[in-house]
């Protein structure tokens, strides 16, 4: 998928999301934090260990951004898309018994990603909830939170992150 394909896909997704109830207009700022929740068969310790590692976070974000260690904190870089320049965000990591929180200044305010873990109902693993309060359009922040948790679940279950990139094969691709 090329960068222009990604931009067109993001634009189409924004157009669809504009018409869903409770969604803010495309290009508009985020009025409230976005939330995503998934249930994983992994332990809370495995989940939090993965989410503390900048290399794993970069792998999970994929084309949406990257994370690098920076001093005692981390630098998150979110890719720009159609109508959005992207975001560079320097964070501090706060660890808690039930989760972790990335927090840092962005343009005069404080932004955060708060991750909490709890036992899933009926002993079905760990419930992981991410709340992202970022200065990104609501659709972009929601997509980043969903992508992070969806790919985390795949990584912890299969050891691989799902991708749409072409896979090597012995087939003749000339068609």
Segment 29-77, tens digit of pLDDT: 445 899 999 999 999 999 999 999 999 999 999 888 899 999 888 999 9
Which pLDDT band holds residue 116 (cuts at 50, 70, 90)?
very high
Q: What's the order of all strands across the beta sheet hosting 126-133?
A: 34-40, 126-133, 109-119, 99-106, 87-96, 73-78, 65-70
7 or 95: which leads in pLDDT:
95
Helix boundaries (H) for 26-109: 44-52, 54-61
Instruction: Give the C-alpha separation, 62 to 3, whole Å.
Output: 13
pLDDT on residue 139: 85
Q: What percent of the chain has pLDDT over 70?
A: 74
pTM of the entire predicted model: 0.73
């Amino acid at each position: 998928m090329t960068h222009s394909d990604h931009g067109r896909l993001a634009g189409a997704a924004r157009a669809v999301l504009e018409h869903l109830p409770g969604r803010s207009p495309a290009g508009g700022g985020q009025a409230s934090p976005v939330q995503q929740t998934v249930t994983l068969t992994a332990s809370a310790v495995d989940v939090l260990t993965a989410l503390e590692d900048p290399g794993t976070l970069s792998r999970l974000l994929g084309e949406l951004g990257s994370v690098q260690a920076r001093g005692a904190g981390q630098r998150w870089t979110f890719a720009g898309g159609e109508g959005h320049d992207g975001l560079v965000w320097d964070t501090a990591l706060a660890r808690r018994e039930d989760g972790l929180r990335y927090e840092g200044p962005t343009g005069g305010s404080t932004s955060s990603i708060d991750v909490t873990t709890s036992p899933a109902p009926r002993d079905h693993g760990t419930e992981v909830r991410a709340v992202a309060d970022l200065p990104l359009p609501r659709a972009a922040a929601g997509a980043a939170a969903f992508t992070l948790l969806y790919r985390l679940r795949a990584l912890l279950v299969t050891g691989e992150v799902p991708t749409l990139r072409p896979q090597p094969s012995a087939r003749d691709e000339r068609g």
